[in-house]
Structures are given as structure tokens and as C-alpha cells.
Amino acid sequence: MATVNIRTAAIQYGTDIVECHCEMNVMTPAGPVMVVKVVSLNEPTELGSPDWTDADLCLAVATQLDIDPADVAIAGAS
């Protein structure tokens, strides 16, 4: 199970930034909690092309968060 699930991703054309809304499972002293984080990516040219894939988006988010790409998934994707 992924620790980060991308809920939405949108290209902000005014700034040329891809903004992703992610749900993250975070362990706290009180136990696991779900946190929503907005991740801004600075690679709009690559991600905004018609050829980008869900895997490309997951890799970009993982790189930005400095985590293993296997820990990132698209919410609801099978």
C-alpha cells in the first residue's frame, strides 16, 4: 500500500507549475494519521506534455518528497 496517494494533479498555466494534492499516511506518537499536502512540481514541460503518464507523475512527486517512488500511487487507480 502506498504511503502517498495523489488525489488530484493540475497544471497551473499562469505559473507553469504542476500542483498535486496528495494524501499522506503519517505515523505520529498517537498512531497513524492522514495528512493532505500540496506538492508543487517544477517540471511542467515534461509533465504537461500529452505523453506523460501516471508513473511519471508519481516519480516526480516521489522526487520532490525525497521518498521511494514505490511509495507513491494515484488514488483510485488499480
> SS in 3 state form for the chain?
CCCEEEEEEEEECCCCEEEEEEEEEEEECCEEEEEEEEEEECCHHHHCCCCCCHHHHHHHHHHHHCCCHHHEEECCCC
Percent residues over pLDDT 90 in the chain: 1
36 pLDDT band (50/70/90 cuts)? confident
Q: How many CA atoms lie within 13 A of 54 on its CB side?
A: 12
Q: Where are the domains of the chain?
A: 4-74
Q: What is the mean pLDDT of residues 14-27?
A: 79
Q: Residue 20 has which C-alpha cell?
A: 498535486
The whole-model pTM stands at 0.75
